Amino acid sequence: MAFVAPALVLVGVFLVFPAVWTIYLGLLDYSLTGSAAQAPTFVGLGNYVTALGDPAFTRSLYLTLLYVGFSAVVGQNVLGFLLAWFFRTTNAVVRNVLNVLVLLAWILPGSVVAFLWQALLDRRDGTLNAILGTTDFAWAIDHPMAVIIVFNIWRGTAFSMLLYSAAINTVPRSHLEVARMAGARPWQQLRDVVLPTVKRHVLTNTLLITLWTFNDFSPYLLTGGGPDNKSEILPVYIYKEAIIGGHLGYGSAISLLLLVANLVIAVAYIRLLRTRDPEEATT
């Protein structure tokens, strides 16, 4: 149908094509400046060999896994679920206040949010130091990873909260009633009634927030990857290598490694979703 064509063209040119081109560029020695800019040479898997042997890359990968694991898979997931679970029974005022605050953290523009955190954590005048009475405590320099992890929990919990709120609503009230009659405590209700029902939502949510966090560039606005590259997660590393350093071939190779990592995660999650299905049907 002719109606699909424009969308397909746009998606093809600006989404699929760049993804495919990444594969090709990763095989070249190609830079914005210097001799490699004039005549890109084909180096095969050279960039990948360089990347995998480069301690800067492996450290960046390790930091990315830390970042994704603590801020998204554990942080946003657990906090989002707890909020959704808590909202189920709490009074409207508390729920609305907390809800609005969590949502604001999510919908405000990234640049604004990053500056708000700079103001919060500033070494000399930061609000946090003022409240804690600590002077000259440079949070972003002494604990850069902790800072960007906490920041991302603050920033992204809203999505998990919304998704889990919707998911918990799908648990039939009668099931919870029966559990309560049987003397199940809230914790037991959660474990035996709610979690089995929302298992699929947990997987979907974890998949989405994992992918988003993997590609999150906003820590750059907080720490710039520093100090000493201590918070240089992969998107920041790619940006520094490719755009600032001009090493386009190398940057593309790392991009592809990032893409592959994402795909592996996505496929693993989808596998998990599939295998859970029949089990659920039988139990």
Partner 1 sequence: MSASVSPAPSAPSASPPSAPSARSRAAGPARTVATRSLVYAGVCVLVVFFALPLLWLVLTPFSPAPSYRATLSGFTFDNMAKLFDNPQTWPSIRNSLVLAIGSSVLVIALAALAAYALSRVRIPGRDQLLYALLLLSSIVTGTAAMVPIFLMLFQIGLIDRQVGVILVLSGGLLPAAVFMLKDFVDSIPKSYEESARVFGATPGQILRHIVLPVIRPGMATVGVWALVQVWGNFLVPYVLLSDPAKQPAAVVMYTFYDAGGQPNFALISTFALVYSVPVVVLYLVVNRRYGFAFQGGIKG
Residues between 9 and 68 with contacts to partner 1, criterion CB under 8 A:
10-11, 13-19, 21-22, 25
Give whichever of 67 and 154 is closer to partner 1, judged by the CB atom.
154
Least Cα distance to 213 among 167, 155, 280 occurs for 155
Interface of this chain with partner 1, residues 216 to 245, rule: CB under 8 A: 216-218, 221, 234-235, 238-239, 242-243
CA distance 245 to 265: 29
Residue from 65, 105, 145, 202 touching partner 1 (CB under 8 A): that is 105
Residue from 7, 39, 92, 93 touching partner 1 (CB under 8 A): that is 7
CA distance 157 to 217: 17
Using CB under 8 A, which of the segments 47-55, 98-106, 134-142, 271-279 binds partner 1?
98-106
Using CB under 8 A, which of the segments 6-14, 63-71, 197-205, 223-231 binds partner 1?
6-14
CA distance 149 to 64: 10
Give whichever of 65 and 79 is closer to partner 1, judged by the CB atom.
79
| CA geometry: angle 274, 165, 107, nearest 5 deg | 105
Task: Assess 258 for contact with partner 1 (CB under 8 A).
Answer: yes
Tell me the helices (H) and strands (E) count for the chain, helix number first: 17, 2
Using CB under 8 A, which of the segments 43-51, 52-60, 67-75, 257-265 binds partner 1?
257-265
Count of residues touching partner 1 (by CB under 8 A) = 88
Residue from 183, 275, 281, 283 touching partner 1 (CB under 8 A): that is 183
Residue from 41, 58, 96, 127 touching partner 1 (CB under 8 A): that is 127
Phi, psi angles (nearest 5°) of residue 41: -105, 150
CA distance 67 to 52: 20
CA quadruple 157, 223, 22, 53: dihedral, nearest 10: -110
Interface of this chain with partner 1, residues 145 to 174, rule: CB under 8 A: 154, 166
Interhelix angle 195-214/248-282, rounded to 10 degrees, is: 180
Residue from 78, 115, 132, 134 touching partner 1 (CB under 8 A): that is 115
**75 Cβ neighbours under 8 A, 6+ residues apart:** 149, 152, 153, 157
Give whichever of 8 and 45 is closer to partner 1, judged by the CB atom.
8
Residue from 4, 92, 93, 281 touching partner 1 (CB under 8 A): that is 4
Task: Assess 6 for contact with partner 1 (CB under 8 A).
Answer: yes
Using CB under 8 A, which of the segments 58-66, 133-141, 197-205, 247-255 binds partner 1?
247-255
Q: CA-CA distances (angstroms) from residue 46 to 3, 37, 49, 253?
A: 43, 17, 5, 9
